[in-house]
Amino acid sequence: MDGQFPRAGRVEWIGGADQPTRDVVSVPECRLEPGSGIDGEHHAVSGESDRQVTLIQHEHLATVAALLGRDSIDPALLRRNIVVSGINLLALQDRTFQLGETVLEGTGPCEPCERMELNLGTGGYNAMNGHGGICARVVTGGVVHVGDVLNAATR
């Protein structure tokens, strides 16, 4: 069943890293380019077309923190590009959706990597497992800002 969404989502945080080994830096906005991803971000030049942009659900940050025995988690530690609240991102993993002035296509779940053990400590990988968000391709480029709306397109 391809149901409707009760409400739109909202961009809560944006970040990126220009190299895979560098820390993710929080920014108020980013430019998304079709066929590559976030301008200046390391995935934009890596040729990973299914992982041009990574998104994680804001509500899952509290879950990951709780599983690790923490009060909160800095989104930069999770190495995702965009944190969105108010919508079930996993339901968008094979759909087209509008994010601000851009259009993205979900390409599947964003599985955690071994870096989560380093960033979050022992158990970080398993705390993120099932809560890693989704990957997406950029269909229509533009600028995304913190506070922008995410609307799921109907099929």
**Calpha distance 149→1 (Å, rounded):** 24
Q: Is residue 115 part of a domain?
A: yes
Structural domain containing residue 100: 9-152
What pLDDT does residue 13 have? 98
Q: Nearest 5°: phi and psi at 34?
A: -60, 135
Say which residue the tokens 């993120």 belong to.
128
Q: Which residues pair with 18 in a beta bridge?
A: none
Q: Is residue 66 part of a domain?
A: yes
Write out the DSSP string of 97-154.
Answer: EEETTEEEEEEEE----THHHHHH-TTHHHHHTT-S-EEEEEEE-EEEETT-EEEEPP
pLDDT bracket for residue 45 (50, 70, 90): low
Q: Is residue 1 part of a domain?
A: no
Q: 23 near 45, Cβ under 8 Å?
A: no
Q: For the residues 14-35, what does the mean pLDDT come to? A: 89
Q: What is the CATH number of the domain that holds 62?
A: 2.40.33.20
**Calpha distance 149→152 (Å, rounded):** 10
pLDDT at 110 over 70: yes
Write out the DSSP string of 43-85.
Answer: GGGTT-GGGSEEEEEHHHHHHHHHHTT-S---GGGGT-SEEEE
Q: How far is CA 127 from the centre of its chain?
A: 17
Number of structural domains the chain divides into: 1
pLDDT digits (tens, 9 = 90+) for 84-96: 999 999 999 999 9
What pLDDT does residue 35 have? 86
Q: Is residue 88 part of a domain?
A: yes
